[in-house]
Amino acid sequence: MLNLLDQWFPNVMSRLPEFFDSFVQTIIMVAVAGLISFVLAVILGVTVTVTKPGGLHPNRGVFNVIDKLINLFRSIPFIILAASLVPVTRFVMGTAIGTKGALFPLVVGITPFFARQIQSALAGIDSGLIEAAQAMGMGLPEIIWRVYLREAIPSIIRVSVITLVSLIDMTAVVGVVGGGGLGDFAIRYGYQRYMMDVTIATIIVLVLLVGLVELIGRLLVEITEH
Each residue of 50-97: pLDDT tens digit? 999 888 889 999 999 999 999 999 999 998 998 888 889 888 888 888
Closest CA to 154 of 128, 182, 121: 121
- The pLDDT assigned to 93 comes to 87
Q: Are the beta carbons of 32 and 103 closer than 8 angstroms?
A: yes
Overall CATH class of domain 17-225: mainly alpha
Predicted TM-score (pTM) of the model is 0.90
- The pLDDT assigned to 50 comes to 92
Position 215 confidence tier, pLDDT thresholds 50, 70, 90? very high
Q: Which helix (H) or strand (E) holds 18?
A: helix 16-51
Closest CA to 82 of 29, 160, 18: 29
What value does the mean pLDDT take over residues 120-132? 87
- The pLDDT assigned to 1 comes to 62
Report the chain's mean pLDDT, rounded to a whole number.
89
Position 153 confidence tier, pLDDT thresholds 50, 70, 90? very high
Closest CA to 177 of 105, 108, 109: 105
- The pLDDT assigned to 156 comes to 95
Torsion sign across C-alpha atoms 36, 38, 42, 45: positive
3-state secondary structure 130-197: HHHHHHCCCCHHHHHHHHHHHHCHHHHHHHHHHHHHHHHHHHHHHHHHCCCHHHHHHHHHHHCCCCHH
Phi, psi of 26 (to 5 degrees): -60, -45
Position 19 confidence tier, pLDDT thresholds 50, 70, 90? very high
Query: DSSP character for 15?
Result: T
Position 219 confidence tier, pLDDT thresholds 50, 70, 90? very high
- The pLDDT assigned to 175 comes to 78
What value does the mean pLDDT take over residues 122-138? 85
Q: Is the pLDDT of residue 163 over 90?
A: yes
- The pLDDT assigned to 177 comes to 74
Distance CA(70)–CA(75), nearest Å, equals 9
Residues 6+ apart with CB under 8 A from 103: 29, 32, 33, 36, 93
